[in-house]
Amino acid sequence: MSGWGSAEVVATLALGTVLLAAFVYWESRAAEPRVPLRLCRIPAFAAGNATTFLMSGAVFGAGFLVIQYAQLGHGYSPLSTGVRLLPWLATPMFVSPVAGALSDRIGRRPVIASGLLLQTLGFCWVALNASKGASYLELALPLLVAGVGISMALPTVPTAVLSAVAPEEMGKASGVNTMMQRSGTVFAVAIATAVFTAYGHLGSPATVTNGFKPALGVCAALSMLGTLTALGIVPRRTETLPDLEPELAPAIAASS
């Protein structure tokens, strides 16, 4: 296994940095860029994509870890693991529609921040309870809390990102948001795996638990950072329509 200081890893990171810088340079000079960098100056767009990166990393990194912990730390079969994780994995079907409707009434920011905070608390709770002898209930309850939390954020963050740009730019905004989701997942799984390897290994249930606890703590930290970036998702100000009388525009904007 290649370590962080190996030539393979260092060369890959250096090449990736150079390619990313070249991409930003090219996009900044292109007449019709695939990723208009000016969108990053929109607070809700920038904060929403940062939240997407951290949120996706936290939930997919945790999913990667929890499944291994259930099978190798507790000896559950793949089918049994899936059934036991339903309180966590099935919550979006029930909570997300309600969260979407609620965000339309009170705004995206409080729903996203509250959801990611719940996920953070759930992950911390799981990490504290994790042990070879932990009962199913000790894991199901905190996973349920985390599931409710991510179910609040999952449908709301993309809506906040797309709402931050003009209608004709929604396609590019959606592409950027999808890229941030995938990048966050890869980043979190890599970091969580490195932390797991530093503290444990897959040799026995005890060593699996030793690595699982701090690695899940990393996912909780990413979720907490996502909570903070979500606070920067401020809605766009209502724009004055050109056909409105100047003296009526402030009153209509205030009523909306």
Kindly state whether residues 36 and 126 are assigned to the same domain.
no
3-class SS of residue 244:
coil
Question: What does the pLDDT look like over 97-116, one tens digit per residue?
Answer: 999 999 999 999 999 999 99
Cα→Cα distances 6→9, 13, 56, 130, 225, Å: 5, 11, 28, 33, 29
Same domain, 31 and 122: no
CB neighbour list of residue 109: distance below 8 Å, 6 or more residues apart: 160, 230, 231, 233, 234, 235
Nearest-angstrom CA–CA distance, 26 and 29: 5
Domain of 76, CATH number, reads 1.20.1250.20
Helix (H) or strand (E) holding 64: helix 43-68
Which H or E run contains 13?
A: helix 7-29
Instruction: Judge whether 141 lies within some domain.
Output: yes
Do both 89 and 181 map to the same domain? yes
Assess if residue 113 is contained within a domain.
Answer: yes
Please report, as a single letter, which amino acid is at residue 248.
L
Q: What percentage of the chain has pLDDT greater than the value 90?
A: 69
Same domain for 16 and 89: no
At 229-242, the pLDDT tens digits run 999 998 765 433 34
Positions of the chain with pLDDT under 70: 1-2, 236-256
178 in a structural domain: yes
The confidence score (pLDDT) of residue 106 equals 93
Domain total in the chain: 2
> Do residues 66 and 188 share a domain?
yes
Q: Answer yes or no: do 148 and 50 share one domain.
A: yes
Mean pLDDT for the chain overall: 88
Q: What's this model's pTM, rounded to 2 decimal places? A: 0.86
Q: What is the domain range of residue 28?
A: 10-40
